[in-house]
Structure 1
Amino acid sequence: MRRWWNMAALGKGRTQLRSSITYKWLLLLAAITLIPLLVLGAVSYSITKNAIDKKVTDASKQLIRQTAENIDIRFSGYKDIVMQMITNPEIMSLLHRISQRDEEVAEHISLTSKLAYFTAVSPEFKSVSFVTDDMYIKGIFRWDDQAELKSDFYSKTMGAGNDFVWFPTRRGYYSDTADSHEEVVFSVSKQVFNIHDGRQLGMAVVLDIREEMLSEILRNNAASDLRTESFVIDRSGVILSHSNKEMLLTPVAEWFHAEEANLLLREGREDSFVAHYKGKEVLVNYQQLKSSDWRVVHVIERSSLYKDSDQVIQVIAILLAVCALFSIVAAIAMANSVSSPLKRMVKAMKQVHIGNLSTRIHRDEKRIDEIGSLEYHFNDMVGRIEELVQAVYQEQNNKRIAEVKALEAQINPHFLYNTLDAIKWTALFQKANQAAEMARLLSRLLHISIGKGSDTVMVHEELEHVECYMGIQNLRAAGRIEVFYDIEEEAKAYRIPKVILQPIVENAVLHGFADRIEGAVIHIRCHCADGRLVFMIEDNGHGFETDMPDLYDDQSAELPKSASFLGVGLSNVEERIKLICGNEYGLSITSKIGLGTTVTITLPIMKEESSHV
């Protein structure tokens, strides 16, 4: 169980690491820096490698052509020596006399002396011999294996006519009066003709040349800083000359793959290809000699070609390592510059989440980037939230206090009702009927005004409220003000904000009919129009000068004296209508001096009881 918990914790840690900003920054910088460097390194290496391959291939072809040309020049010199021998009268005279002998192997001191003159000029010459169908004539050294070679040399040379014949490298066994020895040589032969009439003499001259001569040419032309090898092969693929003597006379198939060895033997005088030589990848170039069908082969170990490229790769690897280190350091620094403030912000958010609204982020005032702006606005937001919470708390507290006071104030209306009722009955007992009626009307007026806690009343209740008020006024004024009602029956079933008609009527009584003894008339009309309920209260009072005063203007003191009443009473009615019904509803007033005033109230159709708290 503990092991499972450890694995789960490890997996969670890995998930958090992969989702962290630092990890993402590392990936981003790796993509921005390392990947381009890798691509650049790969492209550079590929371009460099291809350029080196092309340059080295061209250089190798040029080198092998030069090597083949040097060998051909030497071979041409050997041919000249041979021709000088077989066209020398003294040598030919000696050969003629020797050939008359009935000997299988013949030699003559004078012939040896004459031939030594020619071979002395070229130290690579080993020996000169002459062969006929049945005789071997020693020149410089005797062939100890002449019995095996004589017939082969003779038949091939005679079959070539007037052409030179080149014989591949062999181990030659020689002897003279002093000792016997062996040496690796290759040979060139030519049929001997009569120098006077050109007749065939049935004889061939064979010049043995030390293989070391070829090795020396190959070494001189192959000298370079690269790991290279050069050698000569014949048409059968046998190595005729090589600096490594152990490889002499071995087939190239021993050192190349079989299919690659066959490429060296295909048609064509020159070619180049990539092969595997002694288990290593090499670049191979070959060139066929002009003087024979032998081929000079040049191999270059490819790994030696790319020493400079390897140095480039090492430099790129070092740059990658430096860039990787820089990326890690930069990613951590950049991520910390972002993640550290965010972590502080997350910590602060958690504090706010649990209700600690006094939490603030300690920010660097000098930081003006997005993180700094985020910190600033976070602190500002939390501060505003704290202020709003305090305001809501204060509002709720004030509301609670108001509710308590409202409960306490409910006692006063009941006390007032009871008191007025007692006054009424006392007045009746004392035969003061007018005072009793005023007490009744006042009690009913207060009852409708206070209501049952609702903001709206029925239309007929509001009209009754006006009637109670006018009843009291007419008792005081001996019935000098007449009120006429024109109310649609449909409208009586609707509800309206309470106490909106009485303040308007009161203003007409107190200000419109001031100092008026008789003839005061108020018309109250109500009808429905365009989905709205419309009240019109008209009086024939004094009127005033302005058509429509601003009911919310604080400068109500500047209104005409006759209209100064509009500042408080009607503004209260207007405000309550808009608060309960909406801003599109309210009052409109028209007035003319000496003609009276008309107040129009526009209300929505309300059938349900509405309460504004």
Structure 2
Amino acid sequence: MKRFNLVKIFFRDMQLKYKLILSFLVLIIVPLVVQNVVTFGKISQVLEERIIFSASQVFAQTTDFVTYKINKIIDISEQIAVNESVKSMLEKPLTDYPLEEQYEDIDKMRGYLSSFRNVEDIYNVCLYVRDEVAHADVDGDIASFSSARNTQWYRQLPGADGNVFMVPPEYYQPRVGETNKQNVLSVVRRISGTDNYLDTIGYLRIDFLESKIKNILSNANSIDGSFTYIQNRDYRIVITTEDEMIEKYRISMSLMDSISKANDWTVTNLSGEKVYVRSQKIDRTDWTVITVIPAAYVFREIIEINNFMTVFLSVIAVIAVALSIFIAVNIAKRLHHLSQKMTMVTENVFEEYTDEKDSKDEIGELAESYNYMVGRISKMAKEQYQSGQELKTAELKALQAQINPHFLYNTLDMINWMSYEDKGAEIRKIIKALSTFYKLSLSKGNSVISIRDELYHVSLYMSIQNYRLQNAIDFTIECPEYLKDYSIPKITLQPIVENAILHGIQGRENKRGSISISVTEQDEYIYIYTHDDGVGIPADRLDAILDHESTKGFGLKNINTRMMLSFNYLSGISIESEVGVGTTVIVKILKKIQE
């Protein structure tokens, strides 16, 4: 409850502009974020289902087509294995099988086997015969049992399911003189005797290109980033569509057991990534087709849609927020402007509120009422001002009179002492500087002079003081030329510099130091900084110097009062000081060109 009250108080004290902006943000951003989250969740679910459904259909079509192609080759191998001519040649007794007849049968057999090479998917057909029968191992179509025994597939054949063994590419041995570097897969089977099935009378090997099967498997990769491969009963990779990804996403033996039992996609982790896996065994073989789809690629399309939605909603949100800020700032700006005008009334500044668009809304009506009130007050104030103008003029002259005698006394006292020391030349220079100084002080009766004359006036004062102090003070002035024509009440800087000497630099042990004056501008005001490196002013005395009720800092209070009377309530002086470092007096005056 206490926290709620703190939030309530914080919101209550917040500026109207920020209240409006916060309200707009809550009403716009929150619904957009909620909508984006809910919509993305629903779209993600629907798209995931559709993507996986599409992948399932493509996977089924691919495995069916691969099964069809391989079974077609197996069927051809069975057709050759049961052919009577083939069996007859393989079973003929060697005693009744002259060499001439063997060559004749081999020629016929080559013609028969070559007819299958015209089939689209078959690369080569090789028949293995007894070593005693005429053969040519180098030709690659009629070979001997001995050459078969030297192959890797021969040692694997007894453990094959049925009579067929699917040979991976690395088991293939190119024929002598073969220049084709393509990877080759094979179907190998033994040929059984006619009377005794257990007798092996020959072997048959049908080769087909790996690229043919790989092209079909590539169709299963319907999603970018997915890949498909075939492995045999020994978990040896037969074919893969992506060689680079197989090591990262290869299915382990233990995981393969559970995946093979599932009839749908299995979600699992491989190499720390979520993946979708599905497998299908190829009938009549020990080969299994496996497709792996990294989940990141499944959701990539979803993420792209979400990113588009996020960007779209962000643009809408930015536009909405910009409009809300524009509206809030516009409303708050008008109210703030009106509030400032009302505050100025308390400082006796009577300015009407002007609305560029002359709006007729509630703020416009309030401004109209305010203008009427200000007009009445201003009229009454002018009447009172006319009666009090003479009093104000007298007050200004009295303030100046309080400043001028103080400096004159100090200067004449210095000249008096110099006369005792017979310093005639120096006295003449001082008197000339003093006469020019007072000529500027009088200024033909003008109470306001140019900054140019005021800077010259204070430089004359410093030259006189340095005569007395034996050049103990380094004095510099920096002022842009274009600022020197603006107005300033005369005898403004001299009392400030005098205080810097008496209470700042004279307070140091060696009585030496520096005073600098710099002039800058900001907006419609001019700032004059007088800095000394004297002893500084303690913090407990600093606030009392400009206090009208205090008796301290009389000269600076006079200057501050004259600034406000000559310009406006925002003009005046401020003081910054640090003990042991120095003091800076800042004079702030409204920009007015000296006429």
Query: Structure 2 length as normaliser, TM-score?
Result: 0.49
Question: Normalization by structure 1: what TM-score?
Answer: 0.47
